[in-house]
Amino acid sequence: MIFPRDCSARAIGSKARAIFPNKLNLNHWEFHDLTGTDHGTDMIIEYIEDEEFKNNKIECQIKGTMNLKKMIKKDHISFSLDVKTINYALNCKYAFILFVVDVNCEDVYYIAIQDYFIANPDCFEKLKNNTNSMSIFFSAKDKLDEENDYELIQCAKSVYIRKKEDEIIKM
């Protein structure tokens, strides 16, 4: 008989999804695991403001790695993301954040994809010219910290509108 085989990518991804919620300040955040087919969003986190749920959410793409040190150059991380996932992210009304989890040391780094493209409009052209994947560059200082989640809170309170193929507005 033949059975499905396990692979290291599955184990790393599972570890990353388990580590990520433990890095959140659970006084500020509720996390919702998603089931079904994965189209780009692995989890949704919702900001709790004044002990109320006000529909301030972040869609999360969680990627695990065992070799994050190899991706850090001059305090910046280069991470390759599927073009289809980036396009999906750019069409989200809620903030869509890529969280990269180093499963060895359990550090979590992040980048808000819509904000990245707003700050780097030339990336829209690069996105059009890539068919499979594109590298996203972000600061290694953007590390998820239970005590300092101000940036994530601001993202959760943002709404994004994709006006054209190469323009996003943050509200």
Is it true that domain 8-170 has CATH number 3.40.1350?
A: yes
Q: What is the pTM of this model?
A: 0.93
Helices 83-90/122-129 angle, 10° precision: 140
Strand stretches in the chain, DSSP E: 29-33, 43-49, 52-65, 72-73, 76-82, 95-102, 107-112, 133-139, 160-164, 167-170
- In the chain, domain spans: 8-170
**Residuewise pLDDT in 10s, the chain (171 residues):** 888 888 888 899 999 999 999 999 999 999 998 876 677 899 999 999 999 999 999 999 999 999 888 778 888 999 999 999 999 999 999 999 999 999 999 999 999 999 999 999 999 999 999 889 999 999 999 999 888 899 999 999 999 999 998 999 999
